[in-house]
Amino acid sequence: MADENAQSAADDWGAALAEQEQAEASASTPMTPQAAAATVFKDFASSDLKTGTHNDIEFILDIPVQLTVELGRTKIAIKNLLQLAQGSVVELDGMAGEPMDVLVNGCLIAQGEVVVVNDKFGIRLTDIISPSERIRKLNR
């Protein structure tokens, strides 16, 4: 199993390096933004639409996002903030044992509980926010 994971990771890195080399090689030839957009659209149209596979989601799968797990929040006056020192305790609004919020790019997507795996913190998701609920929160 570990060998399969290592092989898969090596294949992913190899593919990424090949893609980077190809991008650097094509970057040596100047191209206008309109020509670049036309090339991307042409590649899309020739590959996905003609073959009948319409995997629009594949375009965004490699986009990095910021995943944050939030213990809690508090408001503090600047004078109190300046008095903080090593060993100071800041009280948060989250209660012990309460599920923690999981945010992607600042948007709540789930809640979970803290776990420790191989001496590293992780989070076990206990509740996923439905897409309709996420959209409703965005509209507020």
> DSSP states of 88-116 as a string?
-----SSPTTSPEEEEETTEEEEEEEEEE
Q: What is the mean pLDDT of the chain?
A: 76
What superfamily would CATH give domain 67-138?
A: SpoA-like (2.30.330.10)
Q: Which of 7-21, 39-53, 126-140 tops mean pLDDT?
A: 126-140
Q: Is the dihedral of CA 9, 11, 12, 14 positive or negative?
A: positive
d(CA 119, CA 137): 35
- Residue of 107, 44, 101 lying closest to 72 (CA atoms): 101
d(CA 68, CA 33): 34
Q: How far is CA 42 from CA 35, 50, 59, in A?
A: 10, 11, 14
Long-range contacts, 26-29 (Cβ 8 Å, 24+) = none
pTM over 0.85: no
Structure confidence by residue, pLDDT tens digits, 93-136: 888 888 999 999 888 899 999 888 898 989 999 999 888 887 87
Domain limits of the chain?
2-59, 67-138
Mean pLDDT check: name the lowest of 6-15, 41-50, 103-112.
41-50
Question: Region 47-75: what's the mean pLDDT?
Answer: 76
C-alpha angle 11-13-15 in degrees, rounded to nearest 5: 70
Read off the tokens for 111. Answer: 């809640």
Mean pLDDT check: name the lowest of 43-52, 64-73, 98-107, 114-123.
43-52
